């Protein structure tokens, strides 16, 4: 009987030990999973907020003495990973600099020949690649070692062609192309985005690293760049690496800008075709990838409260801007034609975002924003010297606020605020540094200003309630300045009269709506008007106008005092409070 109890106790201890080992293994797997995802550029899914319930065996073992082998917690694993990442970056950077200094020092002293230096560079690159391949279990260290090996290859070929002159262009260029293809293959084979990024950077930089005036042709350079872009697009279509997309976008357009230097008609047509295909690829590929991968993306981000961030949103507004700018430089378009093309493409983007229902929802507001930016850019380019462009820009600001409410997009709302901020600065600057057109209140500038102020007022309808007071306050100040600007040709008394009528109108509106804020603004306006009446108009106006102005305001205030109670539509709470404080007076007024 005792033997059976002892055997059962040993079996329980064994099960507890196995469960503890299994838990330690899960923690280690989680740490490795995070390391792999951070190195490959794939976002990490969030963990549930409540930890899983521990088995009874583990609870029983928690009372036993701790094991000397303790697995790191997730927080400790992240801390170790960050330190390891930075140490690897510093180590590989210093190693590459040391290799460069070694080459230069050896050349200056004449220790070894140029060919031997190139061979040493290839040997060091191969050693780094081999060591990184052997240490694939250490994901971060492995990718930095192999990435350093690729960079060493590129630097060695560059130095061997440009400085040491031991490699002809016919050998250096094919070797670099093969190196780029190898980097692409490594990224797919090992599922590492860093290798694809290095391959894109090295492949697109090859024509510059191996620059030769005799062999460099604009059309050949553009065609080669487009082939590299096709390869990176193919990898992105499979993996969806954001770092690859961003590096390909910016480096690709830089190389295409270098190639736009020809004047022959046939080459211009071919270059325009490459520009158009590049624009189309960067326009279609990111939303297509998200739409194709929506099921897996939804599964990956299911624990999160927010939806996954769409791919390539940051480059969407820049893509057509760069493509159209390069096309304008290629064909030599005038400002009018360039502005029309920008407006045409802006309407295309805006219509696509509103009419194409199969477009992923987060991309709709991005394409709407892109369309508005293109239209605004076209208006500015076409009418840069025209001071009446504020009206269409204000209408676009109104559309931005409407779209931010329609799509419930906070980034779009922030952009709309910035849009109106810049537009307000331009409007105030126009009021301060330009005079009013004649005849007053009957000119195109007056209509333009009315459109701007009206669009700003309507925009407040699409703002969240906490933001509206700020817009109304700024709009009030700008409106008062605008009245002064427009009525300046009629003399100082005209602006004072309109200010006073504006304050009276606000007071009546505040009484009718029982709004304390509007009544306060009206009171401030009337105080400012009285101050202007005594400090400015009393000195500058002719005696006849001075008498009329003072008598007119006196009559207006007397009429307001007489009809004040009739105009004030008090709330039930306010009415009951007044009746409690002044019961006899209320009964006399309302028999």
Average pLDDT over residues 517-535: 83
pLDDT at 586: 46
The answer, yes or no, to whether residue 216 has pLDDT greater than 90, is no
Task: Give the residue from 406, 434, 403 showing the smallest Cα distance to 419.
Answer: 403
> Which burial class, exposed, middle or buried, applies to 438 when counting CB atoms under 10 A from its CB (0-12, 13-18, 19+)?
exposed
pLDDT at 27: 63
Q: Which residue has the higher pLDDT, 566 or 129?
A: 129
Q: From residue 25, how far is each of 29, 38, 53, 61, 234 by CA, in Å?
A: 6, 20, 17, 17, 36
Residue 540, φ and ψ in degrees, nearest 5 = -90, -25
pLDDT at 318: 93
The pair of three-digit structure tokens given for residue 185, joined into one six-digit string: 């293959």
Do the Cβ atoms of 503 and 522 come closer than 8 Å?
Answer: yes
Residue by residue, what is the 3-state secondary structure of 84-123? HHHHHHHHHHHHHHHHHHHHHHHHHHCCCCHHHHHHHHHH
d(CA 292, CA 329): 36
Q: Which residue has the higher pLDDT, 278 or 522?
A: 278
> Which burial class, exposed, middle or buried, applies to 49 when counting CB atoms under 10 A from its CB (0-12, 13-18, 19+)?
exposed
Q: Which of 3-7, 228-232, 337-341 has the lowest mean pLDDT?
A: 3-7
- Token pair 């700024």 is found at 474
The answer, yes or no, to whether residue 296 has pLDDT greater than 60, is no
Peptide bond into 59 cis (omega under 30): no
Average pLDDT over residues 377-406: 86
pLDDT at 6: 63
**Model pLDDT for residues 326-351, shown as the tens digit of each residue:** 999 999 899 999 999 999 999 999 99
The pair of three-digit structure tokens given for residue 440, joined into one six-digit string: 């007053």
Residue by residue, what is the 3-state secondary structure of 402-459? HHHHHHCCHHHHHHHHHHHHHHHHHHHHHHHHCCCCCCCCCCHHHHHHHHHHHHHHHH
**Model pLDDT for residues 177-212, shown as the tens digit of each residue:** 999 999 999 999 988 888 999 999 999 999 988 887
pLDDT at 218: 86
Average pLDDT over residues 11-36: 60
What 3-state DSSP class applies to 514?
coil
Do the Cβ atoms of 343 and 379 come closer than 8 Å?
Answer: yes
Do the Cβ atoms of 301 and 45 come closer than 8 Å?
Answer: yes
The pair of three-digit structure tokens given for residue 556, joined into one six-digit string: 């207006």
When pLDDT is cut at 50, 70 and 90, the band that residue 63 belongs to is very low
pLDDT at 303: 39
**Model pLDDT for residues 251-263, shown as the tens digit of each residue:** 999 999 988 875 5
When pLDDT is cut at 50, 70 and 90, the band that residue 306 belongs to is very low
Average pLDDT taken over every residue of the chain: 77
The pair of three-digit structure tokens given for residue 406, joined into one six-digit string: 């329609």
**CA atoms within 13 A of residue 261's CA, in its CB half-sphere:** 12
d(CA 146, CA 144): 5
Do the Cβ atoms of 78 and 86 come closer than 8 Å?
Answer: no
Output b/e per residue, 485-497; b: 16+ Cβ within 10 A.
bbbeeeebbbbbb
d(CA 268, CA 225): 16
Q: Which of 97-111, 348-362, 428-442, 522-536 has the lowest mean pLDDT?
A: 97-111
pLDDT at 234: 94
Do the Cβ atoms of 482 and 434 come closer than 8 Å?
Answer: no
Query: Which residues does 375 contact at the CB level (< 8 Å), separation at least 6?
Result: 342, 343, 346, 347, 350, 392, 396
């Amino acid at each position: 009987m005792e033997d059976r109890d002892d055997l059962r106790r040993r079996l329980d201890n064994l099960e507890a030990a196995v469960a503890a080992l299994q838990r330690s293994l899960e923690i280690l797997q989680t740490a490795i999973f995070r390391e792999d995802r951070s190195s490959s550029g794939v976002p990490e899914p969030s963990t549930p907020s409540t930890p899983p319930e521990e088995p009874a065996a583990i609870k029983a073992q928690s009372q036993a003495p701790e094991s000397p082998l303790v697995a790191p917690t997730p927080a400790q694993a992240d801390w170790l990973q960050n330190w390891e990442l930075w140490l690897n970056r510093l180590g590989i950077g210093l190693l590459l600099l040391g290799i460069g200094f070694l080459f230069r020092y050896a050349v200056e002293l004449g220790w070894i020949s140029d060919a031997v230096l190139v061979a040493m560079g290839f040997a060091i690159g191969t050693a780094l690649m081999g060591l990184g391949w052997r240490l694939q279990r250490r994901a971060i260290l492995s990718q930095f070692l192999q990435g350093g090996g690729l960079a060493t290859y590129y630097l060695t070929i560059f130095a061997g062609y440009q400085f040491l002159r031991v490699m002809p262009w016919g050998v250096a260029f094919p070797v670099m192309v093969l190196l780029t293809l190898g980097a692409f293959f490594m990224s797919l084979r090992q599922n590492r985005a860093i290798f694809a990024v290095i391959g894109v950077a090295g492949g697109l930089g090859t024509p510059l690293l191996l620059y030769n005036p005799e062999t460099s042709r604009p059309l050949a350079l553009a065609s080669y760049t487009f082939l590299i872009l096709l390869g990176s697009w193919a990898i992105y279509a499979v993996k969806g690496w954001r770092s690859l997309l961003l590096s390909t976008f910016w480096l690709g357009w830089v190389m295409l800008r270098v190639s736009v230097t020809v004047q022959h008609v046939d080459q211009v047509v071919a270059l325009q075709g490459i520009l158009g295909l590049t624009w189309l690829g960067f326009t279609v590929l990111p939303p297509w990838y998200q739409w194709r991968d929506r099921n897996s993306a939804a599964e990956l981000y299911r624990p999160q409260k927010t939806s996954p961030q769409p791919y390539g949103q940051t480059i969407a507004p820049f893509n057509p801007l760069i493509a159209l700018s390069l096309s304008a430089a290629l064909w030599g378009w005038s400002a009018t034609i360039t502005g029309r093309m920008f407006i045409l493409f802006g309407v295309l983007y805006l219509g696509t975002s509103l009419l194409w229902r199969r477009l992923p929802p987060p991309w709709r507001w991005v394409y709407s924003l892109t369309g508005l930016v293109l239209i605004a850019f076209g208006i500015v380019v076409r009418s840069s010297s025209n001071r009446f462009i504020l009206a269409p820009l204000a209408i676009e600001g109104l559309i931005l606020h409407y779209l931010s409410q329609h799509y419930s997009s906070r980034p779009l709302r922030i952009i709309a605020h910035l849009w109106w901020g810049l537009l307000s600065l331009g409007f105030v600057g126009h009021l301060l540094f330009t005079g009013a057109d004649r005849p007053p209140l009957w000119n195109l500038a007056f209509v333009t200003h009315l459109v701007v102020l009206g669009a700003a007022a309507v925009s407040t309808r699409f703002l969240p309630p906490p933001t509206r007071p700020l817009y109304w306050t700024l709009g009030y100040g700008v409106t008062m300045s605008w009245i002064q600007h427009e009525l300046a040709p009629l003399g100082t008394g005209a602006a004072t009269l309109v200010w006073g009528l504006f304050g009276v109108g606000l007071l009546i509106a505040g009484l009718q709506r029982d709004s304390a804020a509007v009544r306060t603004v009206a009171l401030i306006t009337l105080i400012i008007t009285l101050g202007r009446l005594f400090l400015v108009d009393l000195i500058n106006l002719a005696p006849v106008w001075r008498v009329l102005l003072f008598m007119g305001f006196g009559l207006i205030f007397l009429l307001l005092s007489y009809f004040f109670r009739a105009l004030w539509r008090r709330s039930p709470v306010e009415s009951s409070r007044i009746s409690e404080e002044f019961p006899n007076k209320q009964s006399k007024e309302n028999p």
